[in-house]
């Protein structure tokens, strides 16, 4: 039986995620698996913001190329890094069970967002987080941040920051959950599209697609479909301060909350709703956000 070659970035988090999926492929699909580490443009360029060098697609493009040219058979992505459309010839085969989708506050000493001092310096590389922080507390100083998870935590001391904002899922997957001072409520900070969700991608014409699909979690698939439908209609990228968070209630009701913000957080368009059809829900909420002022926000962000 041929070995399933798994394309992944080489960061600590990406390797942890890929190794977890490799174990599942070995145990649940009874297939041997090995990692193929791809050093992406986004990983190589660490001294510039993602917005300036092309966005989070820089973490995906070369991994998809490895699938298409036959160097790898399946890719493991953080689904929040995926652009609205994937490369022709590739297909998303599965969304495994979602980890904690919330944002995390990591601070020096015990702290919470509310308890941070006036003018506190908070590190983040996310326009979504920055906009929501500014909307909530205009006194905060937002410090641009890049690097892998341990590097960002280290910048608390090296750059004299009071706190950094990271994803709970990444910290948990790296066994760094004890660093989290506050798991920030989605009512205060709405998560990114598909935050906490992994996406497994294969070649569209590969018979392996059907096998990998067995690793899908039904709830994660529903929420990812709704959130990505919102993303596709809005058409934004990592430079766009937007958020979308779908949840499935205990009685099986799918709901979605979403927002689009100006960079300074002073103007926010938002909407929420529920529907049994996740793709239709994502589209409906996107249209309502655009009608609520989102069109004007997008125009201002693009400079038109």
Q: Is the pLDDT of residue 304 over 60?
A: no
pLDDT at position 178: 95
Phi, psi (degrees; rounded to nearest 5) at 148: -75, 175
Q: Which residue spans of the chain are classified as CATH 3.30.160.40?
A: 231-302
CB atoms within 10 A of CB 83: 18
**Residues 27-31, mean pLDDT to the nearest whole number:** 97
Q: Which CATH number among 3.40.140.10, 3.30.465.10, 3.30.160.40, 3.30.590.10 corresponds to the domain 231-302?
A: 3.30.160.40
pLDDT digits (tens, 9 = 90+) for 108-140: 877 899 999 999 999 999 999 999 999 999 999
Tell me if 236 sits within 8 A of 243, measured CB to CB.
no
- Residues identified as active-site: 81
Measured between alpha carbons, how far is 17 from 30 in angstroms, rounded to an integer?
A: 19
pLDDT of residue 57: 60
DSSP 143-178: EE--S-HHHHHHHHHHTT-SEEEEEHHHHHHTT-GG
pLDDT at position 53 is: 45
What architecture is domain 4-97+197-216? 3-Layer(aba) Sandwich (3.40)
Tens of pLDDT, residues 225-282: 999 999 999 997 778 999 999 999 988 899 999 999 999 999 999 999 999 999 999 9
Predicted TM-score (pTM) of this structure = 0.92
| Strand 103-107 relative to strand 182-184, pairing | antiparallel
Architecture of domain 103-184: 3-Layer(aba) Sandwich (3.40)
């Amino acid at each position: 039986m041929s070995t399933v070659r798994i394309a992944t970035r080489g960061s600590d988090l990406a390797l942890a995620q890929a190794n977890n999926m490799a174990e599942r492929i070995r145990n649940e699909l009874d297939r041997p698996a090995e990692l193929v580490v791809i050093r992406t443009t986004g990983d190589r360029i660490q001294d510039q913001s993602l917005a300036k060098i092309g966005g989070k697609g820089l973490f995906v493009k070369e991994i998809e190329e490895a699938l298409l040219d036959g160097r790898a058979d399946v890719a493991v992505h953080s689904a929040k890094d995926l652009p609205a459309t994937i490369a022709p010839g590739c297909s998303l085969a599965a969304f495994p069970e979602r980890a904690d989708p919330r944002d995390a506050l990591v601070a020096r000493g015990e702290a919470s967002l509310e308890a941070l001092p006036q003018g506190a310096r908070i590190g983040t590389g996310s326009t979504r987080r920055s906009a929501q922080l500014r909307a909530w507390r205009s006194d905060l100083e937002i410090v641009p941040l890049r690097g892998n998870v341990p590097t960002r935590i280290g910048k608390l001391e090296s750059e004299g920051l009071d706190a950094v904002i990271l994803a709970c899922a990444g910290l948990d997957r790296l066994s760094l959950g004890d660093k989290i001072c506050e798991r920030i409520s989605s009512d205060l900070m709405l998560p990114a599209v598909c935050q906490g969700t992994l996406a497994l991608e294969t070649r569209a014409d590969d018979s392996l697609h059907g096998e990998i699909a067995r690793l899908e979690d039904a709830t994660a698939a529903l929420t990812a479909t709704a959130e990505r439908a919102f993303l596709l209609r809005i058409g934004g990228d990592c430079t766009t301060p937007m958020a979308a968070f779908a949840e499935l209630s205990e009685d099986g009701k799918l709901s979605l909350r979403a927002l689009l913000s100006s960079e300074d957080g002073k103007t926010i368009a938002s909407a929420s709703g529920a529907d049994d059809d996740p793709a239709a829900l994502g589209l409906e909420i996107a249209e309502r956000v655009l009608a609520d002022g989102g069109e004007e926000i997008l125009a201002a962000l693009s400079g038109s």
